[in-house]
Structure 1
């Protein structure tokens, strides 16, 4: 279904349910992996994904169409993921950095994580990055999003994103080099 027709159908009460099912089936896998890269845990990802779609459903009338629907979805998913992590860190009375380290360490026990030792090391390196660099790296490296799309999702300049990505890559390379020495 074309995006403009989908949006029109999402805003129309008589076609909203079917259009929303179409939206979910089109984007749920991409959003799952986007969220998973942020929260790292399968069960948490499912919860955040569900909350994301609830927010989308509740706020579809306010979608203006200034950006593509998927960038709007990604923005909501990103914000939901970050809010979830902040809440989880607060509940566990720890810092966001400590929570990230804990989540990476628990990847080995996650039956849904099928990465090898190298993938685990990469996740450890990514966990050491500041939040914005972590987000930019994941979106650019794993999801292969264009800087313009990441800019719309994170509401940041393309130049700033390129700098963040470059710094993230340098820090990851340094981390991996130190691990191998």
Structure 2
């Protein structure tokens, strides 16, 4: 299936006769990428699946308010990243989990889950990424894995480009330092 432009998608969704098809196309076009960024943040497949569903539900409810100041992709990513960060924050608060214990649970999941693919180097990188602060990890994931530019990441996160560059630099330095000790 060929991708539709934002305008074509929005036209499908705004017409009551084609609205359902529009939503199906929106999901087909973006679900894999949205799930991917969520999964890199929350690690656990079931949590990522739930957050991905919540992201699209929120998008469906709010699409009439979409102003077009960014691409649909950027708008969906903003919703997905906010949902992911909110989920992580709630999880830490709800269970009163110290950060170190939360990291240990996530590392354990990487070691033992059948939902985690990749070789040993990828698993080591994922474990290191878990140790980064959530926002720093998000910036690293968007820049490194998603290959987004700072301008687009700024639109997604609502953070200045200078702050994003600093976050990415700090994340890379922490990763390099931890890789050298492995």
Q: Same fold (TM over 0.5)?
A: yes
Taking the TM superposition and a 5 Å limit, the aligned residue runs for 1:97-112 are 98-112=101-115
Contact 1:85-1:96 within 8 A present in 2 as well: no
> In the TM superposition, what whole-angstrom CA distance separates every residue of 1:115-154 from its partner, at most 9, and x where no partner exists?
2222222112111212221111011111111111111100
1:28 to 25, 28, 31: 31
Partners of 1:168 and 1:158 in 2: CA distance: 15
Partners of 2:112 and 2:140 in 1: CA distance: 24
Segments of 5+ residues of structure 2 without an aligned counterpart are none
Q: CA deviation at 1:162?
A: 1.3
Contact 1:97-1:127 within 8 A present in 2 as well: no
With normalisation by structure 2, the TM-score equals: 0.92
Contact 1:101-1:124 within 8 A present in 2 as well: no
Any runs of at least 4 consecutive aligned residues in structure 1 with deviations exceeding 4 A, and if so which?
none
> In the TM superposition, what whole-angstrom CA distance separates every residue of 1:57-79 from its partner, at most 9, and x where no partner exists?
11111111110000000000111
Segments of 5+ residues of structure 1 without an aligned counterpart are none
Q: Report how many aligned residue pairs link the two structures.
A: 179
The match for 1:130 is: 133
Change (3 A) 1:57 1:152: same
Contact 2:110-2:127 within 8 A present in 1 as well: no
**Bigger mean CA deviation after superposition, 35-44 or 153-162:** 153-162
With normalisation by structure 1, the TM-score equals: 0.92
RMSD of aligned Cα (Å): 1.4
